[in-house]
Amino acid sequence: MKRLTDYTNARVSLGLAGHSLPTEPLLDFRLAHARARDAVQFPLDTRSLLQEVNAIVVHSAAKDRNEYLRRPDKGRRLNEASAQVVAAHKAPGVVAIIIADGLSALAIHRHAIPLLAQIETHFENPSLWLVEQGRLAIGDHIGELLEADLSIVLIGERPGLSSPDSLGIYLTWQPRTGRTDAERNCISNIHAQGLRYELAAHKLLFLVNESRRRRLSGVALKEDAAELKLVP
C-alpha cells in the first residue's frame, strides 16, 4: 500500500509522541534546518568552476557575505571595477549567461555546470559571466552594460528544508536596470529530487525561442512547451 511519503519529500505523516514529534523526525528536521543555514553561507569557489567553464568572474557591490545578506540592493548591481570589465565586453544583441551564487552557492556547484552543458551549444558565442555575491537582478545590470538581447541567470535559490541546493533559471528580454520580476520567466526547483536538467533545458530553450520571436518576456510569455519524454 502506497503512503503519502512515497510521493513527496515534504514533512507529512510524521506521527506524534505525546504532544510533540517523535525523536527521529525531530532530529531530521534539525539536520535539514542546519543544512539550509549552511547553504546560505557556503562560499562560491570560482577557481574550481573556472576549471570547467570559460567565464569571466565579476563581483557585486556587496563586499562580503554579511553585507550581501543585509543589503540585498548591493547584490543587484556590480561593483565599479566589475562594471568596467563588463562594459569593455559590450556586444549588442548578445545572449548573456550569468551564473550567480544567490542564496545557495551549493546549488551552483552541484547543478550549474551540468545544466550549462545542456544549453550552451544552442547559442552562438554567448557572453558567460560568473558572479560572486550576486542577486537575481545582477543580470539586468550586466545585460544593460553588454546591450544584450537576452539574459539567462542561473542562480542558487533560497534553501528549503528539503532542498538546500535548488537551482533556478531566470530569462529576461532586453535586460535593463529596473526590470521587475513580472518581466522575467522563471524555471525553478532544479535539483536531484526536483526538475531534471534535460527538462529544464527543454523549457528554457522553448522560452528563448518564443522570447526572441515575440520580443518580450515575463507574464505575457507562457511556457507551454510540449512535455519532453525522458527515459527514467
- What average pLDDT values come out for the chain (232 residues) when binned by 10 residues? 66 71 79 87 94 97 96 98 98 97 96 95 94 97 98 95 92 97 96 93 95 95 73 46
Class of domain 41-214: alpha beta
End-to-end CA distance of the chain: 23
Q: Say whether 58 sits in a helix, a strand or coil.
A: strand
Q: What is the pLDDT of residue 31?
A: 85
Q: What is the pLDDT of residue 228?
A: 63
Q: What is the pLDDT of residue 195?
A: 94
Q: What is the pLDDT of residue 231?
A: 47
Q: What is the pLDDT of residue 232?
A: 44
Rounded to an integer, what distance in angstroms lies between the CA atom of residue 222 and that of residue 206? 10
Distance, C-alpha 18 to centroid of its chain: 41
Helices (H), 88-222: 105-107, 113-119, 138-146, 197-214
